[in-house]
Chains A and B, each alone.
Chain A
C-alpha cells in the first residue's frame, strides 16, 4: 500500500510518483486524485494495451480492462504488453498479470466480454472515464452512446496505417462521436497498424485522461487531433455538433 488509512499518499507513494508529482499542476493532491479515479479501458489491443500500462504506471487507483480476445502472433508487432508465451491466452488476464507486476497498488478488474448494447450500461457503471481502444466502429458507437447517456467522459482514439486520431468527448459540453463519424466500419481487414502509431495515440489518450482528472491545461474536448506520421504533422480540427444527432442532441 502506498497510502495511509485516510487515502493520502505515504512515503512509499511519494517516492514512487515523485517524478510526476513535481510537475506543476499535479502535486501530491493531483496524485491522490489519480489514485481515487476509476478508468475503464475498452479493448486491450494496440491502443488499450499501451494506455493501460501508462494509466497503471501513473497510479490510477482502479482500472477496468475489457476485451474478449486472445493473444495472437500478429498482435505482437504493437501490443507490447504481451509476449510469445502468451499466445492463445485471454488478453485481459495476461494484461492483468503484467499490470499488477508493474504496479501492485492498482486495483485491476479484468473482464473477458464483448461490449454490446446489452451490457454496456452495467460495464461503465461507477467509472469516471472511458478510454476507447476498440477496433470496431460498432463497438465505439455503443460506448459513445452509453457515455453520453450516463454523462461519463469518453476518450476516443483510432489508428489506421501511419495515422491516428484522438478526441475527448464530454457529454453535454462537446459534440459526440456520432456527430462527426462518416462511416461505421473499416472496409479492409486486417486493418494496417504499426507499433509507434498505436503507442503515440494511446499516450495522447492517457494524457487526456490525466488532464480531465486533474483539470490540467487544455484538453482535446471538442477537437479532433490528427497525427500523420507520413508527413510528421499533428493538427487539431474543431468538430461541429450535429444538430440532429440521435445520441447527443438532447444531452
Chain B
C-alpha cells in the first residue's frame, strides 16, 4: 500500500519523496513511524520508548489532517492505502 507523507521538514531516509510504498497489507501508525525511523541513517525516536504517545514537544502527527490523538486508536490506528500522514517538527517557544 502507498502512504503519502506531508511534513515541514525533509524526512530523513525519504529524501524528497512524498510517499512510501509499504509491503505489509496492514500497518498501524506506530509501526509506520517506526518504519520511517529505521529508514533514516540514524533512527529517529518519533515515539517515546515504552509509550503510547509521541514525544509531544517534538512532533505533531495527523492522519488525513486529523490529529492522531483523535483517530480513535491513537498510535494503534490502522493505516489504509492512500492515507496521508502529516509529520511536523515543533519549534519551541520559550526563551
Instruction: Answer whether A and B are interacting partners.
Output: yes
Contact of B8 (CB < 8 Å), options: A46, A134, A198, A242: A242
In the assembled complex, A231 has its CB within 8 A of some CB on chain B: yes
B12 in contact with A156 (CB, 8 Å): no
In the assembled complex, A110 has its CB within 8 A of some CB on chain B: no
Contact of B89 (CB < 8 Å), options: A134, A177, A226: A226
A136 in contact with B9 (CB, 8 Å): no
B10 in contact with A237 (CB, 8 Å): yes
Residue of B at shortest CB range from A164?
B92
Q: Which of B40-95 contact A (CB under 8 A)?
A: 42, 44-45, 57-58, 60, 88-95
Among A23-31, A55-63, A185-193, A208-216, the stretch that binds chain B is: A185-193
A165 in contact with B92 (CB, 8 Å): yes
A182 in contact with B94 (CB, 8 Å): no
A145 to nearest B CB, angstroms? 15
Main DSSP-derived SS at the A contact region: mixed
A163 in contact with B95 (CB, 8 Å): no
A134 in contact with B88 (CB, 8 Å): no
B95 in contact with A185 (CB, 8 Å): no
- Report B-chain residues with C-beta under 8 Å of the C-beta of A224: 9, 89, 91
B94 in contact with A160 (CB, 8 Å): yes
* Known pairs A226-B58, A226-B89, A231-B45; A134 contacts B95 (CB<8 A): yes
- Report B-chain residues with C-beta under 8 Å of the C-beta of A136: 93
Docked CA distance A37–B60 (Å): 38
A177 in contact with B95 (CB, 8 Å): no
B89 in contact with A160 (CB, 8 Å): no
- Report B-chain residues with C-beta under 8 Å of the C-beta of A97: none
- B interface vs A, CB < 8 Å? 7-10, 12, 42, 44-45, 57-58, 60, 88-95
- A interface vs B, CB < 8 Å? 43, 45-48, 132-137, 140, 156-161, 163-165, 167, 177, 179-183, 185-186, 191-193, 198, 224, 226, 228, 231, 235, 237-240, 242
